[in-house]
Structure 1
Amino acid sequence: MILNKKMVEITGLYGHIWFKDRRSRQALMKIALLTMFIIFATILSPLNGLTSSKPEFSSDDFFQSAGELFKQNKRASAKQFQSFIKLYPKDRLVPEAEFMVGECFFSLDPTSSEALKKFQSVVNRYSSSKQAESASLRIAEIYYNRKDYSKALDSLEKAETRYAKGYLQYERLLLKAQCYIILQRFEEAEKILTNLVSKQQAYEEDERFNYIFGLVNYQLGKDDLALKNLEEVDLPEALLFSSKSLVRLKKPLLGIEKLKDLINKYPETSLQERVNYLIGEAFFAAKDYISAIHSYERFLQFYSQSSLIGPAIYKIASSYLEKGDYLQARSSFQSFLQTEPKSEFAPRAIYLIGESFLREERFKEACFAYGDMVSSYPNDFYSPNAQFKLGWCYFNLEGFQQAKSSLIKFKQLYPDHPLLPEVELLLGNTLTELKLYMAASDAYQRVIDQTKEVEIREVALALMSRANYLGE
């Protein structure tokens, strides 16, 4: 009799397992004896009834040995559980064995198709078993790990319908909340978590619950609540989001302390790169621009291949601008534009070059920068501001016709923009300089009609009276 391929695989696999401790060696010996018994039972069973068709070891012993093997070698354990199912197809432990085969594959790969098939089999074939509810949760987890969140949610909904009062209800709801977070459906996640804690306050002691609720509160802008949740969590991510909440609460120096704690407490975390960048961000928020520049430059030194290189150079330039070192600011913005010409921050870098010239009252150079910005990026968020300031620079250069054209173009491009009252006010001043007093008076009237700000209305009214007087 020749051993079949399956038997060779089993014995070969066991032959390569090395166990360090005595208990594990004993478990291995027990598993090896069981396996050899199965092999010989399979070989001898056809020979005229010389041996029983069933092994002498009990099914419980066989199942236990497969479970012990799970801790050491997942693939070998899966094969052992599969052998159990073949030998004892009607045993009460078959549903659990089927589940454990899936669990072995899931442990090796949390997106495993083999695991998914096994868990689906448990749900379909043994729907009334305890393992069916566990398998249904694993199915949702596999879809979650595959980033197929719609299927994960669908699986969770089906499980909730089938096991409404099951023992894994809490786990299902937490996973559901995690799906909602990734899908940016934060209000729905908040509703789930609020309902959970209203039913059982003990959940507030659960670290996972606090971490998930902390993320939801952070995303909803509820920073005080986020801090309360995240303080209960011993994770680097919790310190990261605590820091970001503190910065938003206008406490950037406390946020920096959180980031430094993260670096010291979790030196091996993959967040180190991001954290070192955020230290610069926190100093910038604190208006400590010298420390911000130092932090960003240190980041560039240690993370020269980072995807955050461009943003770091941009923030160095912004720090110089806020610090009043306009020459260095322009140099850094130009460096950024050379490094990241297609960055989403490129339009604003050009805009801020214009700002640096404007602050120095170098209106001609500012005109070039603002003109470059509006022609290159007409749909950018800062284009309306650049168009308005282009008109302002021309006005200060006494280029009143160019100022008029720029301001009228603003009105055509952005008819509902919040800056419109200021544009009309400047247009009125420009038209007054051009001695077009009636048109100027009309512009001032539009200011009065468009704004509710008392101060601006009073200025417009005074200028309108002046224009009407000059036009007489």
Structure 2
Amino acid sequence: MQKFLLITLISAFFQIYPQISEKFDLAMNAFHNQQYAQANRLFEDFFNDYKIVDELYATAKYYSAESLLKLGRKNEAAISFEYVVNTFYWSNYRDKALYNLGLIYFSTAKYELCRLRLKKLLNEYPESDFYGNGLYWIGESYSIENKTKEAIQFLEEAVADKRNKKFADYSLYALANAYEQTGDYDNAVKYYDQLLTYHKNSSLAASAQIRIGICYFKLKDYQSSIVELKSPRLTNLSDEMYSESIYLLATAHYRVNEFPDAEVSYQEVMEKFPESEYYRPSKYGLAWCYFQQKRYDDAFNQFDELSTEHDSIGIKSFFWKGECKRYLGKYTEANNIYKAFLENFPDDKLAEEVKYQLGVVYFNTSNTDLATRYLISANTSDNDLIKAKSFAMLGEIELSKRDYKSAKNYFQLVLDNQNTEKPVFNRALLGIGIAEYHLNDYRNSLKHLNQLDNSDPSFEAQKLNFFIAENHFALNNYSAALNRYNFAAGNDPEINLQSVYGKAYCYFNSGDYENAAIQFLDFVKKYTDDKRFSDAKLRLADSYFGSKNYSAASKIYEELFTADTRLSINPYARYQYAQALYKSGKTTEAINEFINIQEKFPASEYAEVSLFTIGWIYFQQRNYPQSIAQYNNVIIKYPGTKLKPVIYYSIGDAQFNQGKYDSAIVNYEKVLSQFPSSQYVFDAVNGIQYSYVAKGNPEKAISFLGEFVSKNPGLAYSDQLLFKKGEIYYSLRQYDKAKSEYTHFTSAYPNSSLIPDAYYWIGKSSQNLGLGEEAIFNFDKVVNNYQSSELASASILEIGNIYRSTKNYQSAINIYDKGINQLKKSNKVPEFQYNKGMTYLEMSKYQEAYSVFEEVVMYYPETVFGDKSKFELALIDIAGGRFSSADGYLIALAENRTDELGAKSQYYLGQSLYDQKKYNDAITALVRVRTVFSRYEEWLMRSYLLSGDCYVKLNDKRNAAEMYRAVLAKYRGTPIGDEAAQKLRKVQ
């Protein structure tokens, strides 16, 4: 369009000013022939002759400025373009002049002016061909000034603008680079990748490929970085770019622990580019590859060569060559290198680290004094990480000295340091946990050890689990301790030993004597020389005793007495041995051992207990006279014995069993009168009560209970004794008196835990007296006020039974629903549901019943009521002709149950098959009633009758008669026998 307009103007101009037009024409020809100096001179001649400010003049001004620009005279060109822009608002060259001004200002680093002109272009010429390019250059100008937010805004528009074809790849690269500068590596990768996708042949492609690798590296996605940096696109690179890409590739391999691959790439850089800036970093990386592969000699050689120069890599290498020697166990050489480092680089930031490592070396060589000196010196550092490591090592030193308080203080300093590295922080958590355990601060120890377990359970797992277990053991949490001991197996033999010992005691203290025996046996087999051997063997015997393996227990006790003289005179061990003898059936030997204990250790706590145990043995043998004599013998030999309450009570029990109730009462009363605060008082009162009842004098028993409670109202179990009055009357079926006593109980002990029981038994007594409404009233009290009591569920069922017995079915449904909704945690809920279904059956509401039974089967399949519901569903299905469903339920019940429900199910399976006219199948099913469920007489006889009916249908009268005769032989004269006789007559 511009060319056409120019030709039109020139043609018109030629007609008016032929001489001046010749100058314009010569200037334009010179411009198009790239003779820019001549063009500029001719345009100046033209301006001297032509003074009309029109489009032709503006055109000449534009090309004059363009000529100056082509000559590199940017400042002069800028002045001319500014003239065009500011003077010829109507010129078709104005947008191009604005664009050129933007480029000039960009190239001369006048970025604000650049953006000013290009934004003017964007605002005033949104349809210009230079619009997209203008967006790109504005974005680039912002990028150069590190104004990445603004750069991203314009570069994203440049990428989206289809007119920006010339700089499309540059726009993508610049945008990706801007995102990279902001740390948004994901978006950076996205736009670099778009460049590679849509502009494969761009001069920026190789650089974009490398940048993608770098971005993935910074995202720590090292595998993706490796893939990108090994791309076949990376060919024909400059030495600088190629060495950089290989170095980055090597480092990515290193980061993913692919040390051999990293080693190869580092060596390639070193071999191909010895003068590259990446040579020394590659050598340093190679040294680290060797170090990570534990090739410490090779690593040392590389670090040693690098350490000859005193740049940052050289200084670090000096330090790490010392570390190589330390890892090789060459502590003297390591020490010399560390000391040389401190001499050469006393002010380097690694100096404090070196002091720390010197402390470590001295610690490893058991020179804790020097270790402590260097570690304390390292703590003067401003480096929090070194401080943390030093304090942690000082804590370890104090742990080794068993100065647990000082150790705890050092470890706490590490934990208080916010910048502590995770491994050091973990070390401090473990250390402070161990210190606190030894200081008996078990809960805080567990707090710190659990913190470590939650954050890094693999950190010194054996030691961590062991000390968690030890803390739980000390707090009597044996189950938790046992779990941790099981995870404490490892390479430390001492911890393995103590874990077996700890597990054994966990089981022992928990009363799991069988497993305790397994663990103690394991210990005594493996650790015969350990100082805990005798104790473990004694506990092995105790564990056998506790698990009722008395023969094994007595054998181990005998071995102990033979092997360890100290244990042979240990009254506890001898007592346990005697008990084991008795429990293993060696009664005479046991009695002799108990006598032996009393004679050899008369002052021992086991002496009088042994004599008492002899009496108890006679009692168990029902040798009551000898038992009583032995009990009295304890009192004779130990008149001040604390066993008197149990002795008098035991004598009373022996006399009760002899039928000497009056004598029994005398001894029971001795317990009450002489030892009113004894734990045997309650049992003695019961003994007196039972004695009176046994004498046929229950009123005296009741009277005694009332008097005793009146005299001792403060006893903890007074309510239990008074409650027994109601129990006695109820057991005698004197329901009026029982109800009265239970009612009196609710007044006397309104806060007793037996109150719900009292109301329940008031209800039961009323129910037995035919007082249904009164029974319901008391059962309701239990349901409404004591829902945590087990009797709340029992009360629901009793109320339901009362309503159903009076055909008040809707009230029964309501009470079952109340139980279902309010007692959701009760194990009686399936029974509530089942009874609800049965109530619907009684109401002839079969569909509702069916739905309820289905719910029971679905939600409580493992309960008896789930199976009972299946049975009811089967009966409803049979009645409805749904035989397939019914048979499924019945077969499952008959196969899985061996009780009466199984027998009924097997019978009704035969009935279902009979109704389906499958007579042979029905006979087979009924035979199973006789073979599997023969002890259930009713269903056995019914199966004979129904089998006979099946044979009748099959016209097999002989077998039919045989079935009927089987019933008649056993039940002649009964209704079922009459039915069999009637059927028999029909087939004869």
TM-score by length of 1: 0.69
Contact 2:176 2:191 in 1 (8 A): yes
1:406-445 equivalences in 2 (<5 Å): 406-414=374-382, 417-431=384-398, 439-445=406-412
The answer to whether the Cα contact below 8 Å between 2:284 and 2:306 also exists between their aligned partners in 1 is yes
Identity fraction in percent: 15
1:135 alignment partner, one of 77, 81, 100: 100
> Which residue number corresponds to residue 241 of structure 2?
271
Match of 1:104 among 70, 76, 88: 70
Alpha-carbon contact 1:210-1:230 (below 8 Å) kept: yes
2:41 aligns with 82
CA distance in 2, matches of 1:115, 1:202: 26
1:321 CA displacement: 1.8
Deviations 1:106-148 (A, max 9, x none): 4xxxxxxx3233224422564243344123212332124xxxx
> Within 5 A, what are the aligned runs for 1:2-13?
none
Tell me the secondary structure at the aligned position of residue 333 of structure 1.
helix
Cα displacement (A) at 1:426: 1.4
Distance change (3 Å), C-alpha of 1:191 and 1:382: farther
**3-state DSSP class of the match of 1:271?**
helix
In structure 1, how many angstroms separate the alpha carbons of the residues matched to 2:245 and 2:177? 17
Higher relative contact order structure (alpha carbons within 8 Å, sequence separation ≥ 6): 1
Aligned to 1:255: 228
> Is the contact between residue 173 and residue 208 of structure 2 (CA under 8 Å) also seen in structure 1?
yes
Are the aligned partners of 1:122 and 1:131 in contact in 2 as well (CA < 8 Å)?
Answer: no
Question: Structure 1 stretch 377-386 or stretch 237-246: which is displaced more?
Answer: 377-386
Maintained 8 Å contact 1:280/1:296: yes
Unaligned runs of 5+ in 1: 1-51, 71-75, 107-113, 145-150
Q: Residue 241 of structure 1: CA displacement?
A: 0.7
What secondary structure sits across from 2:230 in the alignment? helix
Instruction: Judge conservation of contact 1:256–1:282 (CA < 8 Å) in 2.
Output: no
CA deviation map 1:213-251 (0-9, x unaligned)? 221233333333222211222322111112223344222
Q: 1:288 aligned to 2:258?
A: yes
Alignment partner, residue 305 of structure 1: 275
1:185-264 equivalent positions in 2, closer than 5 A:
185-194=147-156, 206-233=168-195, 234=200, 235-247=205-217, 248-251=220-223, 252-258=225-231, 260-263=232-235
Do 2:36 and 2:71's aligned partners in 1 also have CA atoms closer than 8 Å?
Answer: no
CA apart distance, 1:296: 3.0
CA distance in 2, matches of 1:444, 1:213: 49
> Which residue of structure 2 aligns with residue 318 of structure 1?
288
CA distance 1:93–1:257, change in 2 (3 Å): same
| Distance in 1 between residues matched to 2:365 and 2:191, nearest whole Å | 56
Per-residue CA deviations over 1:193-227 (Å, capped at 9, x if unaligned) read 45667x86987993222111221233333333222
Cα deviation code 1:322-357 (max 9, x no counterpart): 23221111111222233xx14332222123213322
Offset of residue 279 of structure 1: 3.8
Write out per-residue CA displacement over residues 41-85 of structure 1, whole angstroms, 9 at most, x where no aligned residue. Answer: xxxxxxxxxxx99466262x3343233223xxxxx3233233323
Q: Residues 428-459 of structure 1: CA distance to partner in whole angstroms, max 9, x if unpaired?
A: 33356678776545324434544796773352
Matches within 5 A, 1:346-425: 346-373=314-341, 376-377=344-345, 382-414=350-382, 417-425=384-392
Counterparts in 2 of 1:190 and 1:55: CA distance versus 1, 3 Å:
closer
Aligned partner of 2:140 in structure 1 is: 178
Change in CA separation of 1:169 and 1:371 when aligned onto 2, cut-off 3 Å: farther
For the residues of structure 2 that align with 1:207 and 1:200, how far apart are their CA atoms? Answer: 12
Evaluate the alpha carbon distance shift between residue 418 and residue 337 of structure 1 in structure 2; reply closer, same or farther with a 3 A threshold: closer
For 2:386 and 2:108, locate their aligned partners in 1 and report how far apart those are by CA, in whole Å.
48
Q: How far has the Cα of 1:315 moved from its partner?
A: 2.1
Looking at structure 1, the residues matched to 45 and 104 of structure 2 have their Cα atoms a distance apart, in angstroms, of 24
Letter in 2 for 1:116: N
Question: One-letter code of the match for 2:226?
Answer: L
Relative to 1, partners in 2 of residues 1:376 and 1:79: Cα closer, same or farther, differing over 3 Å?
farther
Letter in 1 for 2:396: N
The equivalent position to 1:92 in structure 2, one of 42, 53, 58, is 58
In structure 2, C-alpha distance between the alignment counterparts of 1:375 and 1:292, rounded to whole Å: 34
What secondary structure, in the 3-state scheme, does the structure 2 residue paired with 1:232 have?
Answer: helix
CA distance in 1, matches of 2:253, 2:140: 31
Shift in alpha-carbon separation, 1:364–1:169, aligned structure 2, 3 A: farther
| CA RMSD across the alignment | 3.7
Distance 1:385 1:66 in 2: 74
**Residues 261 and 399 from structure 1, CA distance in 2 versus in 1: closer, same or farther, beyond 3 angstroms?**
same
Work out the CA distance in 2 between the residues paired with 1:194 and 1:95.
Answer: 35
Letter aligned with residue 382 of structure 2? Y
Contact 1:98 1:122 in 2 (8 A): no
Q: Following the alignment from structure 2 to structure 1, what is the Cα–Cα distance between the partners of residues 136 and 209?
A: 21
The whole-number CA distance in structure 2 between the counterparts of 1:254 and 1:81 is 55
Letter paired with 1:57: E
> Conserved in 2, the CA contact under 8 Å of 1:223 and 1:249?
no
Residue 413 (structure 1) shift: 1.6
In 2 relative to 1, CA 184–158 (structure 1 residues): closer, same or farther, beyond 3 Å? closer
Structure 2: state its 5+ residue gaps: 1-16, 51-56, 442-988
Residues in 1 aligned to 2:338 and 2:31: alpha-carbon distance in whole angstroms: 71
The structure-2 alpha-carbon separation of the partners of 1:270 and 1:161, relative to structure 1 and needing over 3 Å to count, comes to same
- Asked whether the 8 Å contact 2:206–2:233 carries over to 1, the reply is no
Q: Distance in 2 between matches of 1:369 and 1:92?
A: 79
Q: Which amino acid aligns with 2:241?
A: L
Asked if the contact 1:78/1:104 (under 8 Å) is kept, the reply is no
**Conserved 8 A contact 1:400-1:434:** no
Query: What secondary structure, in the 3-state scheme, does the structure 1 residue paired with 2:151 have?
Result: helix
- Check whether the contact 1:226–1:245 (CA below 8 A) recurs between aligned residues: yes
Residues 173 and 54 (structure 1 numbering): CA distance in 2 closer, same or farther, change over 3 Å? same
Amino acid at match of 1:222: D
Name 1:33's counterpart in structure 2.
Answer: none
- Which residue in 2 is equivalent to 1:18? none
Distance 1:219 1:390 in 2: 41
Amino acid at match of 2:228: G
Partner residue, 1:68: 32
Task: Quote the residue 1:334 is aligned against.
Answer: 304
Q: CA shift at 1:288, angstroms? A: 3.2
Judge which range, 236-245 or 220-229, deviates more: 220-229
Larger Rg: 2
In the alignment, the residues of structure 1 paired with residue 76 and residue 28 of structure 2 have an alpha-carbon distance, to the nearest angstrom, of 23
Using the TM superposition, name which of 303-312 and 181-190 deviates more: 181-190
Write the distance in 1 (CA, Å) between the matches of 2:240 and 2:437.
65
Q: Please tell me the residue identity of whatever aligns with 2:410.
A: A
Give the Cα separation in 1 of the matches to 2:214 and 2:138. 25
| TM-score normalized with structure 2 length | 0.36
Cα distance in 2, alignment partners of residues 213 and 412 from structure 1: 47
For the 8 Å contact 1:425–1:460, the answer to whether it is kept is no
How far did residue 254 of structure 1 move? 0.6
Change (3 A) 1:377 1:164: farther
